[in-house]
Structure 1
């Protein structure tokens, strides 16, 4: 029974990764290792890894700095954009403070305009993301990855070779495979862990600066979770929920909690906090490393793409693989592309997969927790 006392502590260790990462970020700066702040899963991390730089997510998920952000930005703007900008403006985020360069992508109008103001605080490089997954879009994205490489070389006075990028591709693919192997434990029924604990690991690994150490840590955790599962089925069978939609974390973890407090369990995260950026590998056999990176990253099924068939493809596979009973689509207030796309996702889930669907529009406040619990209780009861 010793494992039962060990496992919660291990999940908490991943949950603490962001806070512990503040000290790690300072250590990185003390060693003169470049730190690059990023906002999106479209950022090709292999290019930064190839030059020995560390990367960290700057997407904020707290309403702490939103009032300060609203002095410059519209109130009716996505809370993620306002929060991220607010932490940069107020210097309340150590990751932003220690970042030598900020890299953004033109995923949405709000972000790309926000970057213009962000440049007042830090050097910012913006990658022009195509909004269509086409041959022309692929050419544009490949050129943008090359332009990013050239910017990094100039900014940090380094040379990034194609061989270094190939090595970085292998490292990131190993990380993705280890992550998939871990979160696929939730295919088991009953589940071996709650969605809340799974999410701590998904988020926690994004604040691990030593990317090469991640596979070993995840494999060790996977073995411990399986060992406990063989001893005792800790959780009973419950309705199985997949979360899709906008990125979640921090304040929006209230959605996961509301689902699991009301009798269901979250078994899968399709959004970019989960499987969206991890499911596909970079082709290690492609001699053109920039084309290989462009193909992998442009295939991400984000609602900023028009049309967006890859999101449906991923959802179709995950609903089957994880034996999903219902889908919850999380929409951040004023995220227009994901909000508009709820209709097509609802049609797919209800009509094609014959599963229950619910969309939830929320922000980073705690004001809607009561309403969330009421809605989730009714949704789970229906299942």
Structure 2
């Protein structure tokens, strides 16, 4: 059953580029987003397709390093490299980019990227205290609405934003339902399967198609659970991966963990559970967007209690046996925050903890394998 579903995902993925092209040929637009803090609802409200653009592959990094420093986060270099080499169709399709000041490396890279494509940078507050940050952040979203209206030539009304919130809430609900499937022990999905599904469906131009497909996968997985069909047993070590985002191409730690006999059942990052939120659709839509998006628990926030709260909820909910904290090289906020995560995991839950700092290359694969194998043996 799963094999047929993954074939269907691939078919839709191949059709998706043609869907985006057809959308643009009708005079519609595509908006690229580089971070979870960008409110994609505004693009949907303008009848545009929102596309995630963070780079997850090693291939374009050499080209990026002709402009950017080598000792920079691989996600930033990969993102810029794809743009500079014109090898990412989703960047090419984007009429403009919505970026943000999450970290110093990104915001300076976006200055250079603006020579390649129109870029609007949201000035993200660095704390989540509503009295200090909600007003300025709401003003940033209101400015973005004006920028999008001028760029696209369509009015973004409160009614359209509310409708977009309801649609995107349904998509996030479908993602959460899919991610919650792996609470079952044993899980019917491998961690790599989960990464692939979340990554590929994130690019779908047709949101309804993506929602329907994720629900179909969840339904099949529930049947597999009832039939006790799984690639694992109930003694397979269950791993929670926290830290930086992962996608196809930046998934080597997930691969190695599962090659070493574990199952990555939970992703606490912005490519995983961090995006499983719901925006309040009963109040002023701009206020609702500002409030919910500001609450995203990224390490760029200081302090960042939301991440610890999410980990406290996820570790027992997914019956976790060990936690791996992944940091990309030169990602200082996640690197420093790892100390707090280790304290929580070890002191509050008494679980094995492993912090990995790496990049997208395969050069340290065997070193990582040795460390990860030792970690799994501890469990």
Give TM-score, length-normalised by structure 1: 0.95
Give the superposition deviation at 1:25: 2.7
Q: Which residue of 1 aligns with 2:220?
A: 224
SS across alignment from 2:271 = coil
1:28 & 1:321 partners in 2: Cα distance? 41
Give the superposition deviation at 1:302: 0.2
Q: Which residue of 1 aligns with 2:57?
A: 62
Query: Matches of residues 252-263 of structure 1 in structure 2 within 5 Å?
Result: 252-263=250-261
- Work out whether residues 195 and 256 of structure 1, in 8 Å CA contact, stay in contact via their aligned partners in 2: yes
Query: Matches of residues 309-320 of structure 1 in structure 2 within 5 Å?
Result: 309-320=305-316
Deviates more, 1:147-156 or 1:200-209: 200-209
1:231 & 1:356 partners in 2: Cα distance? 31
Residue 118 in structure 1 maps to residue 116 in structure 2: no
2:346 & 2:15 partners in 1: Cα distance? 42
SS across alignment from 2:180 = helix
Deviates more, 1:110-119 or 1:173-182: 173-182
The one of 281, 285, 292 equivalent to 1:284 is 281
Query: Matches of residues 123-202 of structure 1 in structure 2 within 5 Å?
Result: 123-135=118-130, 136-202=132-198
Q: Which residue of 2 aligns with 1:3?
A: none
How many residues get paired? 376
CA shift digits 1:303-344 (9 cap, x unpaired):
000000000011110001001111111111111110111111
Give the superposition deviation at 1:291: 1.1
- Structure 1 unaligned regions, length at least 5: 1-5
Give the superposition deviation at 1:107: 0.3
Give the superposition deviation at 1:289: 1.1
Give the superposition deviation at 1:9: 3.7
SS across alignment from 1:88 = helix
CA shift digits 1:83-124 (9 cap, x unpaired):
111111111111111110011010000000001110111111
The one of 35, 60, 63 equivalent to 2:30 is 35
2:36 & 2:13 partners in 1: Cα distance? 17
CA shift digits 1:28-83 (9 cap, x unpaired):
22222200111001110111111110011111111211111111111100111111
Q: Which residue of 2 aligns with 1:74?
A: 69
- Structure 2 unaligned regions, length at least 5: none
2:139 & 2:7 partners in 1: Cα distance? 41
Deviates more, 1:209-218 or 1:178-187: 209-218
CA shift digits 1:236-255 (9 cap, x unpaired):
12111000101111232111
Give the superposition deviation at 1:26: 2.1
2:274 & 2:10 partners in 1: Cα distance? 21
1:20 & 1:247 partners in 2: Cα distance? 26
Give the superposition deviation at 1:373: 1.5
1:16 & 1:85 partners in 2: Cα distance? 28
Q: Which residue of 2 aligns with 1:101?
A: 96
1:159 & 1:85 partners in 2: Cα distance? 31
Give the superposition deviation at 1:161: 0.5
The one of 359, 362, 365 equivalent to 1:363 is 359
